[in-house]
Amino acid sequence: MAFSQFESSPSSRDSHSNANFFAHKLRRHVLPTVTGALIAAVLGATTSWAAMVTLHEAGVDDIYSQASFGTTPVDIRYLPTISHVDASLLNIDTQAKLTGASGLFNLFNSNTIHYAYFVDTISWCGTSNANIIGCGFEPGTDFVVESNVAAGSNGAELIGHELGHNLNLSHDTLPASNLMDPSLNGSTTLTTTQVATILSRPSIQSDSSGFFIEIQPVLILAAATVPEPSTMLLAVASLLGTVACNARRRV
């Protein structure tokens, strides 16, 4: 299988284009980690960014119903999140982990449902690069994002972009800022030509409400032991009491 690779800076947008699989190498966003780590510790879970799924349903809906869709907006419908326990897939750093027989993109198969995988890190998508935060088939029904970036303010843009690749949209810098720009740019614009491509894809379904896309979120987890609910509540209460006590302490 051939791949195409892209860089994060405008000066490196020229690509060595040789196929149908896209790496999305974007600027990283540093997010607060204390709350997530605290909750993970209380729940007994492995410290892991992928212990969360952020869907941005309203934001992604807005992207796929913007003015360029005219009278044919596409509703984004998320199925209930499912989990897949495999610690080796938390960090996608080899081809085998992404497209191998037991790789991420071979966990499920569907022509109509898009599978969105949430992992800790991605550093391989055609080639190795530490700046990758999203990767998806073009066209296809599988894409993966880093959980911490998806949870940030550009999460809807990231998810919408990778879904765009699944819907046969390539990286595009014209107009200057749009959803399919090779880097996060704050723009979610789609042209009428891009919309026509989207609407031609077989995963675009319809019912009495209009057109829609189904996305199945998949949370990748390491094996973790979660305490019984009563134990967990006692731990939370004890921890909060300690925090409150420490907050009142004077020097």
CA distance 248 to 139: 56
Residue spans per domain, the chain: 52-236
Model confidence band, residue 240 (pLDDT cutoffs 50, 70, 90): low
Tens digit of each residue's pLDDT (9 = 90 or more) over 166-222: 999 999 988 778 999 999 999 999 999 999 999 999 999 999 999 999 999 999 999
Length of the chain: 251
Query: Which helix (H) or strand (E) element contains residue 102?
Result: none
Q: 217 is written with which tokens?
A: 């979120």
Model confidence band, residue 223 (pLDDT cutoffs 50, 70, 90): confident
Mean pLDDT of 102-129: 96
- pLDDT of 17 reads 32
Lowest mean pLDDT among 4-18, 24-38, 49-63, 127-141: 4-18
- pLDDT of 140 reads 96
Looking at mean pLDDT, say which of 27-31, 68-72, 245-249 comes out highest.
68-72
3-class state of residue 245 by DSSP: helix
Lowest mean pLDDT among 22-31, 93-102, 153-162: 22-31
Q: What is the mean pLDDT of the chain?
A: 80
Of 55, 43, 39, the residue nearest 231 (C-alpha): 43
Residue 142: beta bridge partners?
A: 115
pLDDT at 29 over 90: no
CA distance 43 to 35: 12
Tens digit of each residue's pLDDT (9 = 90 or more) over 153-168: 999 999 999 999 999 9
